C-alpha cells in the first residue's frame, strides 16, 4: 500500500534502498557523483536520476554522473543522466568533477591524468596540483549528419553562419558536436551584437532545443564577443535547461567563433558561473578546456 505525501504526487515509500553520493559542481553546473566502480551498470535508473536531481524533493543537480570501470584499456568509464533522465554522450564540467572525484577516491597526492571512456569516445582529464583540471576534449565534429543536424552544410560541408528560423525570427547559427550536439549563435540575422542580459532564455531556449532541425535535440549557446580572446555566453542545455555553465558548450562556441572568424584559437569564455580557458589547437585539432571542479558535500540518498 502506498500513501501520498502531503503536497506531492509521490507515493510515500514504506521501504527504500540507500545510495551514497558526492555532490560536485563545475562553475555552478552541479552533479551528483556515484562511485560505480563495482559494476558496469549504473546503480540507479534514469527515472531515479530525475528524482535525485529534483531541487525540492531530491538532492538537486543538473545530472547524475557514474564512475564506472574502464573498458578497452581506459582507467574508467563515465556515463551521465541529465536531470530530465536523458543520457548525453559527454559532459565537460562533469568530467572535470569526475576527475577530481577519482583523484579523491585514489588518494592521489600529485597531478594525475586519467583515460576515461565516454559515449563520445576517449576523454583525458588531468588534475593539476592547484586543483584546476585540464581536459583534452578531443576534436570537434563538424559533419552535419553526425552532430546531428538537418541544416545543410556550406561549400566545405560545415554548418557555419547558417540561417535558422525560430518562431518567425531568423537566427544565424554554427553547429558543432563535442560528442554532444551544440547550436551556437552570435545573434539574429541583421543584428550586430547579442544583448545576453536581455535574452529571454527561458522562452527561446526550448524552441532551439526541440527544433526540427535537431533530431537528437540540441544544447544552445548564445554568445557575445568581448574581444578576439574573450567571449561571454549563456546556455540552454539539452535535457537540463538554463545552467550556470556548460563545458562542452564553451568548447563548441570557441570552435564556432574561430570558424566565423570572430575570435582566435585560445580564449577566456565567461559563463554565468565563472570563466573557462578554452583552446582549439591546430597541431592536433583537439580542443582543450581548463577550469575548476569542487566537491560540496556527500550524503546518502533514499530511493
Ligand atoms: N553541462 C554539460 C553538458 C551536459 C550534457 C548536455 N546537457 C547534453 O545533453 O548534451 C557540460 O558541461 O558539457
162-285 matches 18-138+293-302 in CATH topology: yes
Catalytic residue of the set 53, 91, 175, 267? 91
pLDDT of residue 99: 98
pLDDT, average across residues 58-76? 98
Specify the pLDDT at position 116: 98
Report pLDDT for 1: 32
User: 1 alpha carbon to ligand 1 midpoint, in Å?
Assistant: 38
Q: What's the pLDDT at 192?
A: 83
The answer to whether 221 and 211 are in contact (CB under 8 A) is no
Residues ≥6 apart with Cβ < 8 Å to 247: 26, 29, 91, 92, 93, 94, 95, 96, 135, 137, 276, 289, 291
Residue 196 clears pLDDT 90, i.e. is over it = yes
The structural architecture, per CATH, of the domain 18-138+293-302 is Roll (3.10)
Percent of the chain with pLDDT over 90: 92
Using one digit for the tens of pLDDT, what is the confidence trace for 225-268?
999 999 999 999 999 999 999 999 999 999 999 999 999 999 99
The set of protein residues with a Cβ atom below 6 angstroms from ligand 1 is: 29, 82, 88, 91-94, 180, 219, 237-240, 243, 246-249
Q: Where are the domains of the chain?
A: 18-138+293-302, 162-285
Asked about 91 being catalytic, the answer comes back as: yes
* 100, three cell numbers: 577530481
- What architecture (CATH level 2) is domain 162-285? Roll (3.10)
Q: Phi-psi category of 261—alpha, beta or left, where left has phi over 0 and alpha has psi -120 to 50?
A: left
Distance from Cα 135 to the centre of ligand 1, integer Å: 15
126 part of the active site: no
Amino acid at each position: 500500500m502506498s500513501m501520498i505525501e502531503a503536497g506531492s504526487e509521490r507515493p510515500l515509500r514504506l521501504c527504500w534502498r540507500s545510495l551514497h553520493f558526492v555532490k560536485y559542481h563545475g562553475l555552478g553546473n552541479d552533479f551528483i557523483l556515484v562511485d560505480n566502480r563495482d559494476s558496469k551498470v549504473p546503480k540507479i535508473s534514469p527515472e531515479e536520476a530525475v528524482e535525485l536531481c529534483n531541487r525540492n524533493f531530491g538532492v538537486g543537480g543538473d545530472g547524475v554522473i557514474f564512475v564506472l570501470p574502464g573498458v578497452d584499456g581506459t582507467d574508467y568509464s563515465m556515463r551521465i543522466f541529465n536531470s530530465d533522465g536523458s543520457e548525453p554522450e559527454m559532459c565537460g564540467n562533469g568530467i572535470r568533477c569526475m576527475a577530481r572525484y577519482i583523484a579523491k577516491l585514489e588518494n592521489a597526492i600529485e597531478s594525475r591524468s586519467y583515460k576515461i571512456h565516454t559515449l563520445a569516445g576517449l576523454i583525458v582529464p588531468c588534475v593539476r596540483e592547484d586543483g584546476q583540471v585540464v581536459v583534452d576534449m578531443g576534436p570537434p565534429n563538424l559533419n552535419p549528419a553526425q552532430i546531428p543536424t538537418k541544416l545543410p552544410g556550406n561549400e566545405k560541408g560545415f554548418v557555419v553562419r547558417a540561417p535558422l528560423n525560430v518562431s518567425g525570427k531568423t537566427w544565424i547559427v554554427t553547429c558543432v558536436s563535442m560528442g554532444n550536439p551544440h547550436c551556437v549563435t552570435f545573434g539574429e540575422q541583421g543584428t550586430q551584437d547579442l544583448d545576453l542580459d536581455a535574452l529571454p532564455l527561458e522562452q527561446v531556449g526550448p524552441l532551439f532545443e526541440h527544433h526540427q532541425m535537431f533530431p537528437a535535440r540540441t544544447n544552445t549557446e548564445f554568445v557575445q564577443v568581448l574581444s578576439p580572446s574573450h567571449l561571454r555566453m549563456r546556455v540552454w542545455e539539452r535535457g537540463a535547461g538554463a545552467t550556470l555553465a556548460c563545458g562542452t558548450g564553451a568548447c563548441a562556441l570557441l570552435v564556432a567563433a574561430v570558424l566565423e572568424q570572430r575570435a582566435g584559437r585560445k580564449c577566456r569564455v565567461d559563463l554565468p558561473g565563472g570563466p573557462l580557458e578554452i583552446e582549439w589547437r591546430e597541431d592536433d585539432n583537439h580542443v582543450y578546456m581548463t577550469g575548476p571542479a569542487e566537491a560540496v558535500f556527500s550524503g546518502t540518498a533514499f530511493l
